[in-house]
Amino acid sequence: MKKSVLNEQDYYRKVFGGWLGKNIGGTLGGHDEGRTELLNLTFYPEIPDKPTANDDLDLQLVWLHVLEQYGARITSKELGQEWVEHVFFPFDEYGYSLTNLRYGLQAPVSGWFNNPFTDCMGSPIRSEIWAMVAPGAPGVAAYYAYQDAIVDHAGGEGVYGEMFFAAIESAAFLESDRDRLIQIGLAFIPEQCRIANAVKDILDCKTMGKSWIEARELIVSKYGNYNFTDAPQNVAFTILGWIYGDNFEDCILKAANCGYDTDCTAATLGAILGIIGGAESIPDRWVKPIGHSVVVSPQIKGFSVPADLDELTRRTLQVSNEVIAIWNIPVMIDSQCSTYVEEDNIRVPGAWIGDYNPRGLLEQNVRVNRYLLPEGAALNQGLEVTIDYGPEGPTVGMTERKKLIITLSNQSEEPWEGKLALEVPSSWSSEEAPNYQLQPYEKLVWETVVETGSDRQPFYELSFHIERFHDNSLWNSHTVRFILLSAGHWRLWGPDSTEHTEVVIPGNQISFSKLLGTEEPGTYKAKTMLVNPRKRNVRLIIGTPFPVKVHLNGEIVLEDHEMRDFIPGYHRSYMHRLFEMELPQGEHVLEIEAQKGKDPLELFVLPVAFTKTKTPGGNYYFTDILFGSVE
């Protein structure tokens, strides 16, 4: 395949322009983030002297560190490891995913399980790094975006949003036509996902001659969500600013003035425009107030942060060399030749550059974890092991039977044979594992059941052992370690009921209507034993829109008679829906009453840290607090 040429200086100015546009848009929109009305911004709402720290950029600095540390073959596994090491954000999907990762879960299960924010903007906002290290290769950029997004958005629209933007931004290094770029982005996400439909509706509004305000109203009416971070509405607002704006300034202002996740929409659009036009295309009046510095949130720590955009750009370009080589991207970076686009590399239909299309990844089951052997392998050329936890996810209650589906696939050119064994905690019981013989590309599916004991731990480590024989003798062995979490045990009462129902809850959300089989209005009750292993400050969030009353050890600790919109985030619950206290070590009887109206009753119970902690990074989830049976 003939290669396109990207002049080295053009590459530098486009990457620099992307990072600069990201900083400008994030600083413009940061002040009004979360406002859902139509805004009237004409410039920075507060004149800054440096960029505003923003997770939109923060997390991409972590991903740059990941690329520097692990190289171009990174997957969701390495990205998940870096979350735990360097990211101390409690925000929405970040908080839930980090909780799962701290338990020991891996992506995609870490991003799917017990996570009510999979459709949100946490991943679409961090797409630029993948485009910048894979210029002119939107399929490769979308692959990295997928690996990134499933860590905290698996199974949700957030995955599509990051793949969409990453593909656009990668293609923008060689293609400047706006409409074609949008079609390239759409080629990498499901045709009927909400993001794709919202983007197409914006394009139709423009074609029909509707104003940008009319287009915004359509998006709000069809896709508007009370959670301002919901991705479809915000991705659409980004595209709205792009197609209705006349220049850089007009574009980012229109995107931000749509409201909702304003820092994200303006920052992503600023980055896209900066990549297309380079740093010189961005007006000085937007650059001078913030300069070229890099400002990082205090919850991001533990690695070397670039001092300014020049260092950030140069480090980005440095890691791109390996990415381009590993993926055989048909783009040559040259210091002498002018930028030249090989049109045969930009194919329509299909609309991606090169031959790689990661759309097939979206068909993978998000409740399944995948392991490649030998351990540490980057390519699937040995033995692949998958573990399917089932619809309830990686949790199990006391004295409960749990079904697991373990699949072995021989992806090598040689037969594998030997013995299997599943090691479980000492008080558990399990079935005997079969021996195996696998010819090249053969598969073995083992459906097995484990039964737990009566001991309670926050999580349990299980080990799946694979012995490989050669000439009827043990040659070597491999072990896949995985985690099952303790489920919560609750007693539930429906309206006018004196009899309770014992339930096992796989996460933090209690769905009364589903569990009790009734939608009747009235007083619903839940009771559990909250087990706290040590004295500490605890914020206990009782999340529901309905009026609630909470007793702890027989005393009222929370009572609110009002209906309230509720977002189950660790960091942004209404004060009327939480209480804070120094919680003694030991067992505490927790009783919750909720006055259900006509809507389904969903209840989140979240024990998290106070906002202020010894070091930055409060409101994290207490993974060692249990919800146990009431005697």
The contacts of residue 175 (CB under 8 Å, 6+ apart) are: 181, 184, 341, 346
Distance CA 41, CA 35 (A): 12
* HSE, side-chain direction, 13 A CA sphere, residue 10: 21
Q: Where are the alpha helices (DSSP H) in 4-118?
A: 8-30, 55-70, 76-86, 92-103, 109-112
Residue 144's Cα: distance from chain center in Å?
Answer: 13
Tokens of 600: 């389904």
DSSP readout, 555-590? EEEEEE-S-------SS---GGGEEEEEEPSEEEEE
* HSE, side-chain direction, 13 A CA sphere, residue 325: 8
| Amino acid identity, position 483 | I
Tokens of 264: 């994200």
CB 580 within 8 A of CB 537: yes
Q: Angle, to 10 degrees, between the axis of helix 231-244 and the axis of helix 194-207?
A: 30
Residue ranges for the known binding site are: 261, 263
Distance CA 447, CA 431 (A): 10
Distance CA 479, CA 464 (A): 6
Q: Give Cα separations from 493 to 20, 392, 496, 516, 528 (angstroms).
A: 56, 22, 8, 8, 12
Strand 509-511 to 548-552 pairing: unpaired
Residue ranges for the known binding site for Mg(2+) are: 261, 263
Q: Report which DSSP code applies to 51.
A: P
Tokens of 384: 């692949």
Distance CA 264, CA 234 (A): 8
What φ, ψ does residue 246 adopt, rounded to 5°? -95, -20
CB 388 within 8 A of CB 405: yes
Region class of 270: left (phi > 0), else alpha (psi between -120 and 50), else beta: alpha
CB 485 within 8 A of CB 394: yes
Distance CA 181, CA 168 (A): 5
Distance CA 29, CA 14 (A): 22
